[in-house]
């Protein structure tokens, strides 16, 4: 038996599961989906300096910034007195790959064992890890989470576009809250939302399209990089808010792209290394299902016309092949250059690559491929920004301001 505390079936009734603040829009939908399955969850939003300090206390400072922040946020929450450690669990995602995808959970358990040994750590994964835990992702839950990702991506796209141009400030935020609440209720009631997906997409698009926008021309800035730093306001010092304050429109690639990248890696590696297994075949079938759902969303958005649709994932794979082999899947691997190229070719030529300082896969792939992408797209303005406990927000924002000054020339 494992030496750490295991999440049991009884804990489902008694424990609140804390969720790190990586994707505020998406994770609120995830929580609603799990609430329908009987779980009690809460999204953490503590983002003071004490989060970083707790991370530095509990994680070696050579560990990457996302690990430090996730663990620091959990420790800060548990020490706040707001939660009963005897009735609290922690959730962390795993994809079964390298870096944070597999190893963070062990760093977190070490910190928990030192401070709150009674607190179980729950793994959210689709790779069959943590088999002894009572926290399970049944097929129906997988489908529900997939739809949460699709709706979250659509809300994120519409929200970022509208709040950059809205005439009446705050309208986009109100619309976002309205739809997060409405979708949460749909998930909780276990409505057959899978038959209504196209209608819900259209209703969301119609509602956001009603927001009055200015026709001012603004610099569009794409954000790529390591998944946690790319999406988490805690990790990137509220990068999207900063870009809005600088008069820009942030353009953030969809979460579904990373999900499909992870799924494709399994069967793609099996073909590259001639090691096909039942698991790789299942992942290929799952990929086809997810890709069909992505195409459905893209078609609805293109037909509506008010908002730019996500990049077709097969198009991303084709772009990646021009610069790097799809066997490069450590960290975010080939997905980063593919997203940079796709953004540049679609007119989003100013790109920030947000990455943890010292993250080897991201530094090699992002910085290494940016020159090749610039050669194909001469107007591309790509700037890597490192995030680290020792990096100052002022320095990061000054580098972004310099990039924007060049973008406006």
Regarding whether 237 and 336 lie in a shared domain, the answer is yes
Residue 380 pLDDT class (50, 70, 90 cuts): very high
Range in 129-138, 146-155, 198-207, 382-391 with the lowest mean pLDDT? 129-138
Residue 134 pLDDT class (50, 70, 90 cuts): low
Range in 333-342, 365-374, 396-405 with the lowest mean pLDDT? 365-374
Query: Residue 127: inside a domain, yes or no?
Result: yes
Per-residue pLDDT averaged across 345-353, rounded? Answer: 95
Domain residue limits at 133: 11-137
Q: What angle do CA 39, 233, 107 make, to 5 degrees?
A: 60
**DSSP β-bridge partners for residue 19:** 43
The total number of structural domains in the chain stands at 2
Give the chain's mean pLDDT: 91
- In this structure, the number of other CB atoms found within 10 A of the CB of residue 363 comes to 18
Regarding whether 131 and 221 lie in a shared domain, the answer is no
What pLDDT, on the 0 to 100 scale, is given for residue 270?
A: 85
Distance between CA 165 and CA 358 in Å, rounded? 36
Per-range mean pLDDT, top range of 34-48, 125-139, 168-182: 168-182
Residue 148 pLDDT class (50, 70, 90 cuts): very high
Final residue belonging to a domain, choices 137, 161, 180: 137
Range in 101-110, 152-161, 238-247, 348-357 with the lowest mean pLDDT? 101-110
Distance between CA 175 and CA 204 in Å, rounded? 9
Final residue belonging to a domain, choices 137, 166, 201: 137
DSSP string covering 34-60, please?
A: HHTTT-EEEE----SHHHHHHHHHHS-
Residue 260 pLDDT > 60: yes
Query: Residue 75: inside a domain, yes or no?
Result: yes
Distances (CA, A) of 343 to 99, 275, 350: 26, 34, 9
Per-residue pLDDT averaged across 209-238, rounded? Answer: 96
Residue 164 pLDDT > 90: yes
Note the pTM of the prediction, 2 decimals: 0.94
Residue 409 pLDDT class (50, 70, 90 cuts): very low
Query: Residue 212: inside a domain, yes or no?
Result: no
Helix (H, G, I), strand (E, B) or coil at 138: coil
Query: Residue 354: inside a domain, yes or no?
Result: yes
Regarding whether 226 and 85 lie in a shared domain, the answer is no
Q: Which of the pair, 150 or 358, is modelled with greater confidence? A: 150
What pLDDT, on the 0 to 100 scale, is given for residue 273?
A: 86
Instruction: Give 327: exposed, middle or buried? Use CB within 10 Å, 0-12, 13-18, 19+.
Output: middle
What pLDDT, on the 0 to 100 scale, is given for residue 126?
A: 66
Residue 1 pLDDT > 50: no
Regarding whether 130 and 241 lie in a shared domain, the answer is no
Regarding whether 222 and 131 lie in a shared domain, the answer is no
Query: Residue 157: inside a domain, yes or no?
Result: no
Q: Kindly give, in sequence order, each residue whose CB lies less than 8 Å from that of residue 67, ignoring residues fewer than 6 positions away.
A: 55, 59, 100, 103, 104, 107
Per-residue pLDDT tens digits for 41-93: 999 999 999 999 999 999 887 788 998 999 999 999 999 999 999 999 999 88
Per-residue pLDDT averaged across 258-266, rounded? Answer: 91
What pLDDT, on the 0 to 100 scale, is given for residue 177?
A: 97
Regarding whether 230 and 125 lie in a shared domain, the answer is no
Query: Residue 211: inside a domain, yes or no?
Result: no
Q: Kindly give, in sequence order, each residue whose CB lies less than 8 Å from that of residue 20, ignoring residues fewer than 6 positions away.
A: 44, 69, 70, 73, 74, 91, 92, 232
What pLDDT, on the 0 to 100 scale, is given for residue 4?
A: 86
**DSSP β-bridge partners for residue 43:** 19
Regarding whether 237 and 128 lie in a shared domain, the answer is no
Distance between CA 35 and CA 145 in Å, rounded? 12
Query: Residue 345: inside a domain, yes or no?
Result: yes
What pLDDT, on the 0 to 100 scale, is given for residue 101?
A: 54
Q: Kindly give, in sequence order, each residue whose CB lies less than 8 Å from that of residue 228, ignoring residues fewer than 6 positions away.
A: 22, 66, 69, 70, 100, 235, 356
Regarding whether 221 and 131 lie in a shared domain, the answer is no
Instruction: Give 389: exposed, middle or buried? Use CB within 10 Å, 0-12, 13-18, 19+.
Output: middle
What pLDDT, on the 0 to 100 scale, is given for residue 123?
A: 87
Residue 191 pLDDT class (50, 70, 90 cuts): low
Regarding whether 130 and 247 lie in a shared domain, the answer is no
Residue 391 pLDDT class (50, 70, 90 cuts): confident
Distances (CA, A) of 321 to 138, 272, 315, 327, 369: 34, 14, 10, 10, 12
Query: Residue 73: inside a domain, yes or no?
Result: yes
Per-residue pLDDT tens digits for 288-326: 999 999 999 999 999 999 999 999 999 999 999 999 999
Regarding whether 103 and 243 lie in a shared domain, the answer is no
What pLDDT, on the 0 to 100 scale, is given for residue 109?
A: 92
Final residue belonging to a domain, choices 100, 122, 137: 137
Our measurement of the distance from residue 346's CA atom to the centroid of its chain's CA atoms, rounded to an integer in Å, reads 21
Residue 99 pLDDT > 70: no
Distance between CA 73 and CA 76 in Å, rounded? 5
Residue 197 pLDDT > 60: yes
Q: What is the CATH number of the domain that holds 77?
A: 3.40.50
Regarding whether 358 and 245 lie in a shared domain, the answer is yes
Given a contact cutoff of 8 angstroms between Cβ atoms, the answer to whether 246 and 401 are in contact is yes
DSSP state of 363: I
Distance between CA 314 and CA 311 in Å, rounded? 9
């Amino acid at each position: 038996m494992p030496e750490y505390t295991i999440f049991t079936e009884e804990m489902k009734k008694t424990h609140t599961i804390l969720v790190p603040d990586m994707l505020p829009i998406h994770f609120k939908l995830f929580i609603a989906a799990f609430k329908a399955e009987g779980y009690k969850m809460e999204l953490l939003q503590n983002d003071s300096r004490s989060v970083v300090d707790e991370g530095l206390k509990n994680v070696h400072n050579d560990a990457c910034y996302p690990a430090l922040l996730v663990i620091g946020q959990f420790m800060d929450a548990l020490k706040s007195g707001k939660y009963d450690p005897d009735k609290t669990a922690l959730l962390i995602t795993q994809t079964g790959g390298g870096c944070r995808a597999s190893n963070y959970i062990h760093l977190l358990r070490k910190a928990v064992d030192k401070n709150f040994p009674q607190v179980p750590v729950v793994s959210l994964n689709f790779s069959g890890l943590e088999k002894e835990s009572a926290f399970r992702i049944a097929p129906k839950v997988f489908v529900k989470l997939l739809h949460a990702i699709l709706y979250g991506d659509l809300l994120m796209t519409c929200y970022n576009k509208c709040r950059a141009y809205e005439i009446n400030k705050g309208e986009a935020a109100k619309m976002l809250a309205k739809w997060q609440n409405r979708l949460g209720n749909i998930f909780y009631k276990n409505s057959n939302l899978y038959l209504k997906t196209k209608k819900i997409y259209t209703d969301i698009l119609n509602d956001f399209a009603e927001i009055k926008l200015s026709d001012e021309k603004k610099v569009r800035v794409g954000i790529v990089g390591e998944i946690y730093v790319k999406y988490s306001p805690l990790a990137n010092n509220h990068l999207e808010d900063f870009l809005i304050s600088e008069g820009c429109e942030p353009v953030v690639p969809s979460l579904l792209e990373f999900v499909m990248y992870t799924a494709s890696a399994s069967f793609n590696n099996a073909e590259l290394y001639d090691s096909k297994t039942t698991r790789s075949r299942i992942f290929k079938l799952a990929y086809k299902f997810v890709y069909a759902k992505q195409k459905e969303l893209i078609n609805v958005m293109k037909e509506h016309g008010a908002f730019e649709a996500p990049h077709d994932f097969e198009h991303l794979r084709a772009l990646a092949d021009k610069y790097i082999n799809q066997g490069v899947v450590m960290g975010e691997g080939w997905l980063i250059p593919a997203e940079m190229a796709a953004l540049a070719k679609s007119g989003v030529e100013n790109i920030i690559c947000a990455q943890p300082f010292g993250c080897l896969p991201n530094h090699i792939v992002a910085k290494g491929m940016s020159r090749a992408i610039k050669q194909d797209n001469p107007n591309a303005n790509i700037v890597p920004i490192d995030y680290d406990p020792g990096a100052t927000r002022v320095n990061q924002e000054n580098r972004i301001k310099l990039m924007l000054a060049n973008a406006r020339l």
